[in-house]
Structure 1
């Protein structure tokens, strides 16, 4: 289980890095546009993602990890992220460079992949497919 927890934390760190990259890209895009509804959505996405990261990390530290609840929260954030990507696509197609679209979708895709990895680990843990023997980490 310890190895799975370590992998979850690694994925959450990657999500945080990609989240910051996405935020930087959206701010850069905003400098070229007057009306930018993505800011509100990005703010919501950031809050939801930070909540998941903090909750997951805290539960792992306290050994009170609740996999099914975490899966539900991750799926909600993934759905929200998909909506954000559709809105960004519409605005970019009309007003901005394709380069920004590629960078933005790259960040979104990597975030989605990390969330999928976390979900897979949680599912394995819930189904009892993983080893329950704790290993000492040196």
Structure 2
């Protein structure tokens, strides 16, 4: 069964964990090379904080995407644990972090989805991606640049 996702404004999602900049760059390169978004982010259905997908959210914001595939869930559907042995993470800890505006270190929270979240297949164009050329030029300038570009 496919996980129902919706296209949602990435600027409205609230991160709760830091990200690894090198992982963000790798992921961004892969997404741009594929031209497709293949894994939705999961977020809390009421509080809008990210459960899983902090690196993907960072990529979406870097690419200035207008929309992002998001699956919204609650803690009645998701189990949360800590990645590191000896730590305890509860939904209450995550709500508090989201309200504080601070971030957990990378890989603190582990959300377990049962059943697993299905992938998606959405073109970057559908998500509102504009290449740097399109982002910084007017339509007439883009047309002129395309005519001047060989190939």
TM-score normalised over the length of structure 2: 0.24
Relative contact order, higher structure (CA 8 A, sep 6+): 1
Greater strand share, structure number: 2
Indicate the structure (1 or 2) with the bigger Cα radius of gyration. Answer: 2
